[in-house]
């Protein structure tokens, strides 16, 4: 069994064969902000944006930074991690810098504890801090515009199969299911297939009654300040059946 992400990557499928990309609509927002070149890895920047957004939406730091804290435990840096967590109060420079250092611990959890040895090298400069602040504010704007947020860090309990045993979605609002992507370009076919798979799993999960109200499947890129969405009513039954059987492993 695999996580959904691994199941998709190991499926040896042509991602584009599952759906019609013409169903994807785009909304581009404008805040007159330009992002500058960053001095740290874009994955760490993106994770910091994700964690800070979840903290400011839920006001629950422990929940928002849960994965980095697990990573810090794996590499024996939990005391330092909790000190940095205590420093995070909003979008001031210090909060953002400490969020980046915490985001680095995710690699300790997901890849190898040895990544913790280089965590001290994560030192975002002024332009990187500014970029993160801009991207978090963009994320907060769309979630408040189309919200409120009903669920976050959706685990899809009750939806797993003998092919997929874990998955995590970002947000559920009254009419939308959302995944956030730190994409440098348009939403790619893997992003879209993962979004569709998450939605189908949501309909089989303990949250199925809430997912039945979803009208839009959304990918938001705070880096591009673009929202990509698919109208649920336009997704064909063949698409749903194909993903259900070939990717997730549902028999019906």
Same domain, 204 and 228: yes
**Model confidence pLDDT, tens digit, residues 190-212:** 888 899 999 999 999 999 999 99
Residue 200 lies in a domain: yes
**Do 10 and 54 fall within a single domain?**
no
Average pLDDT over residues 124-143: 98
Least confident residue range of 48-62, 64-78, 183-197, 214-228: 183-197
> Which of the four pLDDT bands, split at 50, 70 and 90, describes residue 16?
low
The model's pLDDT over 109-125, given as tens digits with 9 standing for 90+, comes to: 777 777 667 777 899 99
Considering the domain boundaries, does residue 35 fall inside one? no
Host domain of residue 72: 42-124
The strand pair at 164-166 and 169-172 is best described as: unpaired
User: Do both 160 and 229 map to the same domain?
Assistant: yes
Q: Which is more confident, 188 or 69? A: 69
**Residues 166 and 241 reside in one and the same domain:** yes
Residue 132, domain member (yes or no): no
Question: Is residue 184 scored above 80 in pLDDT?
Answer: no
* Count of domains for the chain: 2
List, in sequence order, every residue forming a beta bridge with 27; answer none if it has no partner: 227
Res 132: pLDDT: 98
What gap in Å lies between CA 47 and CA 65, rounded to an integer? Answer: 10
Query: HSE of 78 in the Cβ direction (CA atoms, 13 Å)?
Result: 10
The answer on 149 and 61 residing in a single domain is no
pLDDT of residue 30: 94
What pLDDT, on the 0 to 100 scale, is given for residue 67?
92
102 in Cβ contact with 54 (< 8 Å): no
Residues 180 and 222 in one domain: yes
Q: What is the dihedral of CA 33, 189, 10, 109, to 10 degrees?
A: 20
- Average pLDDT across the chain, whole number: 91
Q: 240 and 149, same structural domain?
A: yes
pLDDT at 7: 74
């Amino acid at each position: 069994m695999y996580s959904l992400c691994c199941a998709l990557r190991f499926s040896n499928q042509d991602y584009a064969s599952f759906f019609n990309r013409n169903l994807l609509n785009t909304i581009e927002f404008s805040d007159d902000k330009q992002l500058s070149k960053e001095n740290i890895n874009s994955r760490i920047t993106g994770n910091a944006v994700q964690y800070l957004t979840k903290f400011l939406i839920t006001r629950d730091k422990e929940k928002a930074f849960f994965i980095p804290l697990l990573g810090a435990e794996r590499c024996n840096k939990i005391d330092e991690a909790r000190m940095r967590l205590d420093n995070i109060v909003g979008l001031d420079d210090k909060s953002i810098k400490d969020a980046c250092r915490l985001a680095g611990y995710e690699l300790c959890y997901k890849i190898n504890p040895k990544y913790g040895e280089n965590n001290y090298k994560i030192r975002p400069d002024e332009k990187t801090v500014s970029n993160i602040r801009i991207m978090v504010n963009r994320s907060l704007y769309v979630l408040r515009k189309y919200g409120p947020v009903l669920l976050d860090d959706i685990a899809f309990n009750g939806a797993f199969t003998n092919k997929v045993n874990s998955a995590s979605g970002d947000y559920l609002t009254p009419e939308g299911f959302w995944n956030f992507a730190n994409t440098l370009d348009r939403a790619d076919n893997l992003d879209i297939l993962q979004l569709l798979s998450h939605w189908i799993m949501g309909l089989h999960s303990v949250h199925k009654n809430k997912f039945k109200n979803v009208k839009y499947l959304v990918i938001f890129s705070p880096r591009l300040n673009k929202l990509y969405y698919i109208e649920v009513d336009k997704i064909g039954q063949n698409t749903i059946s194909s993903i259900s059987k070939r990717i997730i492993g549902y028999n019906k």
